[in-house]
Amino acid sequence: FDNRDGQIWFDGKFVPWRNAKIHALSHGLHYGSSVFEGERSYGGTIFKLRVHTDRLINSGRMLGFNIPYEADRIDAACRQVIKTNGLTDAYVRPLAWRGSEQMGVAASRSKIHLMIAAWAWPNPHVAKHLEGIRLDISHCWLLPPASTMPVAAKAAGLYTTKTLVKHMAEANGFDDALMMDVEGMIGECTGANIFLVFNGEIHTPIPHCFLDGITRRTAIDLLRKRGHEVVERKIPAQEIAEASEVFITGTACEITRVQQIGDFAFISGEITATLIADYRDLVLGKTKPKI
């Protein structure tokens, strides 16, 4: 992915894509001190940009560092990246990390870097839009309790197990996997939150040990606006068998229907179809966001 044309915003300046390099002794690389965002621009406008920027800044704070740019500057840089690269519909990836000034676990004097890249990346599940994706159930790796990791941060370190889980799901012929928490409750997928429909009511796990996605909160708003009951609770894994419709939410996958989790199959229902259309209208600016 490093050998392409384009410009990356790197510590306040644009550099050619191929030259956007870091030192091999960067703390972020050795000890996982990095945080990032995933944003989407539709028709040249980044959806809920300030919400993403605030989460990026807060993720850094949760890892004990301050990103050395104000939110306004980061927003402007994200917009500039889209423009400079001649993009309209794109995925935007800001990343902040501790630099290479100090070696060792302690690195409070290291410089905090920020880079922002963007590229065309359509919804990875777009081909399965109608029938839905298939989820494996991850038994190997559980989501870490909030006392063991900064789980509310979008921190790179949290993706160590997610990468393993995703690879295993793909090797098993699935599109992705559903991860559980240490109590056996339903958690999230490797890059998306999950919703299940029980008797027409929509339920989603409380994000106590994983990311409270911006798309998740947007979906809850849109569903409630339609008059649906949305319940946030701890959902035991055994209840998967009772769900009728299932969908996942995330910036990259937007709203994606799920046709199967492990051995359990779901219908292609109206709640998901309507939400997909409502989300589309919102991101395209045809309706107004609440957050």
Of 216, 247, 258, 259, the one binding ligand PMP (CB under 6 A) is 216
Q: Are 31 and 24 in contact (CB under 8 A)?
A: no
CA angle 23, 95, 211 (to 5 degrees): 135
Of 214, 240, 271, 275, the one binding ligand PMP (CB under 6 A) is 214
C-alpha distances in angstroms, 231 versus 41, 134, 224?
30, 24, 10
**Residue with smallest beta-carbon separation from ligand PMP:** 213
Selected range binding ligand PMP among 88-96, 107-115, 245-253, 258-266, rule: CB under 6 A? 245-253
Per annotation, catalytic residue among 154, 166, 225, 234: 154
Examine residue 251 and tell whether it contacts ligand PMP (CB under 6 A): yes
Q: How far apart are CA 241 and CA 235, in angstroms?
A: 12
Query: Does an H or E element contain 28, and which?
Result: helix 27-31
CB of 210 to ligand PMP, least distance (A): 6
Examine residue 272 and tell whether it contacts ligand PMP (CB under 6 A): no
Of 100 and 272, CB closest to ligand PMP: 272
Residue with tokens 């998967």: 240
CB of 100 to ligand PMP, least distance (A): 26
Of 10, 27, 38, 133, the one binding ligand PMP (CB under 6 A) is 38
AA letter at 37: E
Q: How far apart are CA 111 and CA 60, in angstroms?
A: 13
Half-sphere exposure of 217 (CA within 13 A, CB side): 11
Positions touching ligand PMP (CB under 6 A) are 38, 188, 191-193, 210-211, 213-216, 249-251
